[in-house]
Amino acid sequence: MGGGPSMSLLCYYCLVFVAGVVAAAGAGTSVPPPLPVLPIPTAAQLAWQRREVIMFFHFGMNTFTDVERGTGAENPALFAPAALNATQWMDAAAAAGASLAILVAKHHDGFCLWPSAYTAHSVRASPWRAGNGDVVGEFTAAARARGVDAGLYLSPWDLHDRHYGQEVAYNEYYMAQLHELLTRYGRVWEIWFDGNKGTNATKMTYHFQEWFDTVRQLQGSINIFSDAGPDIRWVGDEKGFAGTTCWSAVNQSSITIGSAGIEKYLNEGDPRGTEWVPPECDVSIRPGWFWHRNETAKPLSQLLNIYYNSVGRNCVLLLNAPPNATGLIDGADMARLREFGAAVKRIFGTDLAEGSRARASSERGGGFEAGKVLDGREETYWAPTAEDGRRNGYWIELRRPAGARAFNVVRIQEHVALGQRVERHEVYVDGVAVARGTTVGHKRLHRLACPVAGRTVKIWFAARRGPPLVSAVGLHLDPYATDVM
Ligand code: FUL
């Protein structure tokens, strides 16, 4: 038949066309993200981690008696701030770059900064605002107005309340106060359960689990802090330093809240930890937590050192600035916080890796290319293939444009939403080792001995828990470095 050959040709073209469509459809599907390596953070923990800096305000009876730890026998008449202005406190938080501020609502001396219905030892018995004041109310209102999120600290150890030492009565008292704090003031983003009490303190069993469950019932997406979490753990010191190795995970069953000897475990975390409980570094800008006339703020160089050793080691920095007896942050402290916030912006506001070309030991596929470490987005990341790196580790290399400026800080960030993986890493500039470390986590910052202007920056990773997922590699110039090194 005369039409034979042309028919078969047509069929052939049809087949090619169909195959092409199928192939095109295949090319249009996405490579799925790799499986998480457990444990992983909750959405609230992840959002908390990305805050990086949180403000802490210690203010209360101690501010007026000029001590760090009261006795519980103080006269409420002493509480008399002449010009308390919580809006100015929020200026301080914003200046330091904090998006969350935590107020000590009751410290160990038991004096309550809100008019609690369950005790007479509160602002209600003070001359401030003629006994009608509510510091927690003013604090949370000012935070809301300023777009800063609010958190609260309620000391379990209470030197004033007569029920302290009676297990049921005191736990009921404490729980009633938690109810007040978590139902009267709108959303609360973090609550602090301080495990500290004096060595000679009355014996007292706290019903932590009841407290935690109640907190969750009242504020569904709050983060609960204590030595052992459940959401955020103490870092184990009050210097503001995390361990150079710092895992976000721990085994909660290995931690007894308030007990001695847990500091190193808290400082470093546990690569075999089964719960995600990242650490928070609490430290004051002054020697004390409370304001004292004769104390002054730490110099900028020290604050930056704290930043590198907390935020730069997979932690959140909880920086305390104490309002004074007038009810304001001292002018000099405010200036120091401004300096600190501006310095962090100045160092990290410019990324000298910009314009680099990235390549890596392998790429998982479309959407997980090496270049994702340069796009400035937390949600995207470089992922190597599952087979890569088992023997010799993984690497990523940035080739910087000609004439790129010198840097002295290297920033590496893991996409911890899918678990923390990196256990060792090394940084090379033009083939020369300039930094090495163990864990990375949300953010690892390396300060180099001096600025370098190399063309290639290569980072090698070892990660047995699963291939490293790297969301960012940044290069920065810290002009303050000579002050600290
Ligand atoms: C400690 C307390 O004893 C200090 O006074 C301060 O509140 C600090 C944040 O926690 O355990």
Residue 109 Cβ inside 6 Å of ligand 1? The answer reads no
Query: What is the per-residue pLDDT for 18?
Result: 39
For 138, what's the count of Cα atoms within 13 Å in the CB-facing half-sphere?
18
Q: Are 142 and 185 in contact (CB under 8 A)?
A: no
List % helix, strand, coil for the chain (3-state, nearest 5): 30, 20, 50
Asked if residue 301 has its Cβ within 6 Å of ligand 1, the reply is no
C-alpha to C-alpha distance for 197 and 158, rounded to whole angstroms: 9
Query: Checking phi first, is residue 237 left (phi over 0); if not, alpha (psi -120 to 50) or beta?
Result: beta
Contacts of 25 (CB under 8 A, 6+ apart): none
User: What confidence score (pLDDT) does residue 386 get?
Assistant: 84
- The pLDDT score that the predictor gives to residue 27 is 60
Quote the pTM value: 0.94
At residue 388, the pLDDT reads 86
First to last CA, the chain: 90
Pocket perturbation via mutation, ligand 1, pick of 68, 289, 319 by most ligand atoms within 8 A of CB: 289
Which run of H or of E encompasses 216? helix 208-218
Q: At what angle do helices 86-95 and 331-348 cross, to 10 degrees?
A: 30
Q: Which atom of ligand 1 is nearest to the CA of 194?
A: 11
Sign of CA dihedral 368, 314, 191, 253: positive
Q: Which atom of ligand 1 is nearest to the CA of 69?
A: 5
pLDDT for the residue numbered 390: 76
- Ligand 1 mean position to 347 CA, how many Å? 31
Q: Which atom of ligand 1 is nearest to the CA of 192?
A: 9
Token couple for 196: 């500290």
> Please, are residues 290 and 62 in contact by the beta-carbon 8 Å criterion?
yes
pLDDT in tens, 54-85: 999 999 999 999 999 999 999 999 999 999 99
| Residues near 27 by beta carbon (within 8 Å), at least 6 away in sequence | none
Please name the residue whose Cα sits nearest to atom 10 of ligand 1: 194
424: left (phi over 0), alpha (psi -120 to 50) or beta: beta
Domain ranges of the chain: 43-348, 357-484
In the numeric block, the tokens 């993986």 are attached to 421
Alpha carbon of 460 to ligand 1 centroid (Å): 40
Q: What is the DSSP string of 349-369?
A: SS-TTTT-EEEES---STT--
The CATH number for 357-484, chosen from 3.40.50.720, 2.40.50.140, 2.60.120.260, 3.40.640.10, is 2.60.120.260
The response to whether residue 289 sits with its C-beta less than 6 Å from ligand 1 reads yes
DSSP output for 162-213: TTTT-HHHHHHHHHHHHHHHHHSSS---EEE------TTPPP----HHHHHH
Atom number, ligand 1, closest to the C-alpha of residue 68: 5
Stretches where the chain sits below pLDDT 70 are 1-27, 482-485
Report the separation in Å between the CA atom of 194 and the middle of ligand 1, taken as the mean of its atom positions. 7
Alpha carbon of 69 to ligand 1 centroid (Å): 9
The protein residue whose alpha carbon is closest to atom 6 in ligand 1 is 289
Give me ligand 1 centre to Cα 105, in Å: 13
List the CATH code of the domain at 43-348.
3.20.20.80
CA distance 128 to 115: 12
Starting at the earlier edge strand, list the strands of the sheet with 470-476.
Answer: 444-452, 407-414, 470-476
- In the block, which residue shows the tokens 């050793």? 309
Q: How far is the CA of 227 from the centre of ligand 1 (A)?
A: 12
Name the residue among 415, 453, 420 with its Cα closest to residue 434: 453
Residue of 191, 194, 318 to mutate, ligand 1, most atoms within 8 A of C-beta: 194
